[in-house]
């Protein structure tokens, strides 16, 4: 008997309207457009408006994803939202998204694996569909990183941006061997402090910091993160191809987490997969954490780069540290 499979039947994304260029940042901290472009590949990033939070961005990415899947919110069995920047500490942003979509009753929960969050959410959704528990799940990556950035720290503030991406994951209706294949996930909590936000949780609540909110911004050991990202991403992509008995040449597209263009250059070199096969939009959005893979995927599907039968590798590394990769064989015409 054939194993049940899940397939992506719709994609969507949303980037807030406010654009901050590198020159805008150079007015706040000692940096330059040249330094940021050369060291990171970023030209500009989007910033959520004062009234926009993670679930608002998620809603605006979810609607086009549902539309392209040709379904209504009421057709969904559940919502899984990957985010490290929820609207409020609790309840989950997935519940707030569910309320906005007006579909009470179905399950809704957040997954927090920071920049690898979308890979984790996709694996959970795929497992639920493959095991026959449900047929249609909305999987979203949505982040408002700008609220957690220390805008006086030039080594981190130039990197991050806000955005959301969504996919509709459904049980495969056809016999062809397309859809979501293997997904390889990892974490190593010994390195929790490589990228972290120290305050705002139960160890150091925002109310106890002086001044209030002082330690509620991103701290990162950039150099160590860079090296670990390149090594683990390459290992993880190799693992996926081994599991699927595929060669590097058979990969049509790599849709990576967009953290730094130099990480992607090094990854392309290590894997021997040409950069032309990488879907890259870091220049326009910066690092949008869990949103970056579904945003890039949506862009490449909508502009026709990703086509029927294409083999697409997704790969991410993030705080935790967490990392993982997955293979899709594109189903939609």
- Contact status, residue 90 vs residue 102, Cβ threshold 8 Å: no
259 forms part of the interface with ligand ACO (CB under 6 A): yes
214 forms part of the interface with ligand ACO (CB under 6 A): no
CB of 127 to ligand ACO, least distance (A): 23
Q: Which of 104, 211, 223, 304 touches ligand ACO (CB under 6 A)?
A: 223
225 forms part of the interface with ligand ACO (CB under 6 A): yes
Nearer to ligand ACO, 229 or 328 (CB): 229
Nearer to ligand ACO, 124 or 149 (CB): 149
Question: Which range, of 54-62, 128-136, 164-172, 259-267, touches ligand ACO by CB under 6 A?
Answer: 259-267
Q: Which of 115, 167, 172, 314 touches ligand ACO (CB under 6 A)?
A: 115
DSSP string, 217-246: S-EE-HHHHHHHHHHHHHHHHHHHHHHTT-
Active site residues: 115, 257, 287
40 forms part of the interface with ligand ACO (CB under 6 A): yes
- Contact status, residue 155 vs residue 224, Cβ threshold 8 Å: no
189 forms part of the interface with ligand ACO (CB under 6 A): no
DSSP string, 26-56: HTTSS--HHHHHHHH--SEEEE--TT--HHH
Q: State which residue has the least CB distance to ligand ACO.
A: 222
226 forms part of the interface with ligand ACO (CB under 6 A): yes
Interface residues with ligand ACO (CB under 6 A) are 31, 35-36, 39-40, 114-115, 154-155, 158, 195, 222-223, 225-226, 229, 259-260, 263, 287, 289, 318-319
């Amino acid at each position: 008997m054939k194993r049940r499979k899940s397939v992506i039947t719709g994609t969507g994304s949303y980037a807030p309207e406010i654009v901050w260029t590198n020159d805008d940042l150079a007015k706040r901290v000692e940096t330059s457009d040249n330094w940021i472009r050369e060291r990171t590949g970023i030209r500009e990033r989007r910033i959520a408006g004062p009234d926009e939070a993670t679930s608002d961005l998620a809603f605006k990415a979810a609607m086009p994803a549902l539309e392209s899947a040709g379904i209504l919110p009421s057709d969904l069995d559940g919502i899984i939202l990957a985010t490290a920047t929820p609207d409020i500490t609790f309840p989950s942003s997935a519940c707030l998204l569910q309320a906005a979509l007006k579909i009470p009753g179905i399950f809704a929960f957040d997954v927090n694996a920071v920049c690898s969050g979308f890979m984790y959410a996709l694996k959970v959704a795929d497992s639920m569909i493959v095991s026959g528990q449900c047929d249609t799940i909305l999987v979203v990556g949505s982040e408002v990183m700008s609220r957690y950035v220390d805008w006086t720290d030039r080594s981190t503030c130039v990197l991050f941006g806000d955005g959301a991406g969504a996919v509709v994951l459904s049980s495969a209706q056809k016999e062809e061997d397309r859809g979501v294949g293997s997904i390889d996930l990892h974490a190593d909590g010994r390195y929790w402090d490589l990228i972290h936000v120290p305050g705002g949780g139960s160890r150091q609540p925002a109310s106890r910091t002086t001044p209030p909110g002082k330690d509620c911004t991103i701290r990162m050991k950039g150099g160590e993160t860079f090296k670990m990202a390149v090594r683990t991403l390459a290992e993880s992509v190799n693992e996926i191809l081994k599991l699927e008995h595929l060669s590097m040449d058979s990969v049509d597209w790599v849709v990576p987490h967009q953290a730094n263009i130099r990480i992607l250059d090094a990854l392309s070199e290590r894997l021997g997969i040409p950069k032309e096969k990488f879907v890259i939009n870091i220049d326009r959005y910066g690092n949008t954490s869990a949103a970056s893979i579904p945003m890039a995927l949506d862009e490449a599907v909508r502009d026709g780069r990703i086509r029927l039968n294409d083999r697409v590798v997704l790969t991410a590394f993030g705080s935790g540290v967490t990392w993982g990769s997955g293979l899709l064989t594109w189903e939609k015409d």
